Amino acid sequence: MAMDLQEIARHIDEHQQQGREMDKVTLSYPSLKVEDAYKIQRICMEEAASRGDSLIGWKMGLTSAAKQKMVGVEEPIYGRLTSSMEMNSSVLSMEGLIHPKVEPELAFILKKDLKGENIRPRDVWMATDCVLPAIEVIDSRYRNFSFTLEDVVADNASSTKFLLGDQAFSPYEKAWDKMGVSILKNGEVQHEGVGSDVLGHPVRSVAELVNMLHKEDLGLKAGMVVLTGGFTEAVNVEEGDEILVDYEGLGTLSMSLSK
Ligand code: OOG
Ligand code: MG
């Protein structure tokens, strides 16, 4: 089949908007390259912008071994975060979701633009205003949450919603790689992780994102949010579930699943 990236993007965008399952795009387009998948992401973002949505940040995904093993894709990917994905309360409605999962993350909020090809952790610290506890909700549009690298990139790295904690912390608050995190569902611990599970240190995830974006001549802007990737495996959720993430020494962040 001739490959029309606009057409594929429209197909994916529709399924994202309607919260409908679909087949892997690589089934119809086996020659789809990861570069094409990132172009599809960019086109979907343009579609979203035409609906009044805006780009407010980026997420890294598959930055921990736990996450890579879970989905069978062994390299980090990025996705686009839009204003409509940010939750303004801790209640998540199941409406319009397919088979959501939640994961414990950290968010870096930038105070300066950051763009370049050899970005190191210290460049990231100099551009970071604060760090916030975060919970990401991912909901792959692919049947059975099953995909290849190219599929998941084309589906905006499964991005769906995200919740940021109210309390911001200084980047110098603690050694983020030493911080333990545990995620509980209905009072029971599901998974535990530590900051170093995310590429050795969550700050490295931001540096890697900037280096990856540079290949598309893109960069981060002051004020943007960056999710650094799940510390642990993601947890399936359904209506009625209560999620609590405990960030060692910083408190907790919770989310309730409603109808
Ligand atoms: C891909 C998105 C991965 C993370 O934090 O690793 C991700 C997926 O697992 O569906 O958001
Ligand atoms: Mg994530």
pLDDT of residue 41: 98
Q: Which domain holds residue 169?
A: 5-258
* Minimal-distance CA residue to ligand 1 atom 7: 61
Residue 71 in contact with ligand 1 by CB distance below 6 A: yes
User: pLDDT at position 34, please?
Assistant: 97
Verify whether ligand 1 is closer than 6 Å to residue 61 (CB atom).
yes
Domain count, the chain: 1
CATH number, domain with residue 149? 3.90.850.10
CA distance 92 to 167: 20
pLDDT tens per residue across all 259 residues of the chain: 678 999 999 999 999 999 999 999 999 999 999 999 999 999 999 999 999 999 999 999 999 999 999 999 999 999 999 999 999 999 999 999 999 999 999 999 999 999 999 999 999 999 999 999 999 999 999 999 999 999 999 999 999 999 999 999 999 999 999 999 999 999 999 999 999 999 999 999 999 999 999 999 999 999 999 999 999 999 999 999 999 999 999 999 999 999 9
pLDDT of residue 2: 73
134 alpha carbon, closest ligand = 2
pTM: 0.98
Q: Is 136 in the pocket of ligand 1 (CB under 6 A)?
A: yes
Best residue for ligand 1 mutational test, from 16, 64, 67 (most atoms within 8 Å of Cβ): 67
Per-residue model confidence (pLDDT) at position 1:
61
Using the atom order of ligand 1, give the atom closest to the CA of residue 63.
6
Of all protein residues, whose CA lies closest to atom 11 belonging to ligand 1?
61
Query: Could you tell me the two tokens for 53?
Result: 């949505």
What pLDDT score does 196 carry? Answer: 98
From residue 123, alpha-carbon distances to 103, 105, 110, 212, 253 in Å are: 27, 21, 11, 15, 28
161 CA → ligand 2 middle, Å: 10
Edge-to-edge order in the sheet of strand 180-185? 91-93, 251-258, 242-247, 180-185, 188-194
Strands 55-61, 225-227: pairing kind: parallel
Phi/psi of residue 149, nearest 5 degrees: -50, -50
